[in-house]
Amino acid sequence: MHELPRITVVTPSFNQAVFLERTICSVLNQGYPNLEYIIVDGGSKDGSVEIIKKYEHRLAWWVSEPDGGQTAAINKGLRRATGDWVAWQNSDDVYLPGALMQMAETARIAPNVDLILGDMQIIDANDNIVRGQRYVRPTYKALLAEGMVLTNQAAFWRRELHDNIGWLDETLQFGFDYEWFLRVLRVSDSVRHVPNFWGGLRYHDATKTSTCLSKFADEYCVILNGRTLPLWQKRLYQVRRLLLTLNYGHFDYVLLGILNRLGWRN
Q: In sequence order, which residues have a C-beta less than 8 Å from that of residue 27 and are 6 or more positions away? A: 9, 11, 35, 37, 89, 95
pLDDT at 69: 93
Rounded mean pLDDT, 157-175: 96
Exposed/middle/buried for 41, CB within 10 Å: 0-12, 13-18, 19+?
buried
> Is 130 a domain residue?
yes
Rounded mean pLDDT, 162-167: 96
Q: Tell me the CATH number at 90.
A: 3.90.550.10
> Is 157 a domain residue?
yes
Rounded mean pLDDT, 215-225: 90
> Is 156 a domain residue?
yes
> Is 262 a domain residue?
no
Strand-pair partners of 199:
95, 120
Please give the Cα distance from 111 to 88 (Å, whole number).
21
pLDDT at 7: 98
Q: Which domain holds residue 48?
A: 7-229
Q: Is the pLDDT of residue 82 over 90?
A: yes
Model confidence at 204, pLDDT cuts 50, 70, 90, reads confident
pLDDT at 206: 64
Cα distances (angstroms) measured from residue 263 to each of 121, 235, 242, 245, 256: 22, 20, 19, 21, 11
Q: Is the pLDDT of residue 265 over 70?
A: no
> Is 237 a domain residue?
no
Mean pLDDT taken over the chain: 94
Strand-pair partners of 133:
120
Q: Is 126 helix (H, G, I), strand (E, B) or coil?
A: coil
CB neighbourhood size of 144 (10 A):
18
**Which of 21-25, 112-116, 218-222 shows the lowest mean pLDDT across its residues?**
218-222
> Is 161 a domain residue?
yes
How much of the chain, in percent, has pLDDT values that exceed 70?
96
Please give the Cα distance from 124 to 93 (Å, whole number).
10
The alpha-helical segments, DSSP class H, found in the chain are: 17-28, 48-54, 70-80, 99-109, 140-146, 161-165, 176-187, 208-211, 213-224, 231-247, 251-261
> Is 243 a domain residue?
no
Model confidence at 263, pLDDT cuts 50, 70, 90, reads confident
> Is 2 a domain residue?
no
pLDDT digit string, tens, across residues 24-72: 999 999 999 999 999 999 999 999 999 999 999 999 999 999 999 999 9
Model confidence at 210, pLDDT cuts 50, 70, 90, reads low
**Tally of structural domains, the chain:** 1
